[in-house]
Amino acid sequence: MRFKNKVAIISGAASGMGLLTARCLAEEGAKVVLTDISADAVNAAVEDIRKSGGEAVGIEVDVRKYQQIKEATNLALEKYGAIDMMLNFAGGAEGRMLNCPKPFHEMPVEVLDWGIDVNLKGAVYFCHAVLGTMIKQKSGVIINLGSVTGVEGSAGAVNYSAAKSGIIGLTKALALCGAPHGVRACCVSPGPVLTRPGMANMKTRLGRAAEPQEVVDLILYLCSDKGAFITGSNYMIDGGRTCGGMD
């Protein structure tokens, strides 16, 4: 029970690694606040966690809308009285998410805006909303989800790469802001993860994509007391993909 009575807010919590992280935290004693743009999905996820004996609440949040983010942080404080962990999972490559498989220079600007707003500004907004509380508490952990594309770049996901590079910079800056107050910030940058079939085709040195649990286990370690001396770093979990030399 590493996280007994700790309070976590998770964005993008109704599916994928966000949902898996919420379940794992709840299993280890955390009180989890799930946020997602799909109200039905987030409510179903909360119900599932509760049926398993966990403590959870959910709220619909579009990370492009700061007022909705504030409503989520207010819910956490009103119900549980603290915010110990903030985990920013919401995001996705805009070309895929918006079914716009065009090269960067042909993408409508509205698609580009969506990508930056969801993949970068959403995390900035959530960090802005929780940092004051964590500073007052003299404790807290922020985990931002980067991507291998934020380090190696991608001709097919230019905007997404830019946003994920920004997440790395955001994390470093937050670590500097939070360090005098006992607040940590870390970035986890996965390579291909088997949250969808297409990821299995991305090459890694280890010859496979990651299982979602492998990434979540790293996140849980960084959130735990065993990671108490870790802040400001970007953790690659990419099967050696960024070692270089991949075709």
- What residues act catalytically? 160
SS3 labels along the chain? CCCCCCEEEEECCCCHHHHHHHHHHHHCCCEEEEEECCHHHHHHHHHHHHHCCCEEEEEECCCCCHHHHHHHHHHHHHHHCCCCEEEECCCCCHHHHCCCCCCHHHCCHHHHHHHHHHHHHHHHHHHHHHHHHHHHHCCEEEEEECCCHHHHCCCCCHHHHHHHHHHHHHHHHHHHHHHHHCEEEEEEEECCECCCHHHHHCCCCCCCCECHHHHHHHHHHHHCHHHCCCCCCEEEECCCHHHCCCC
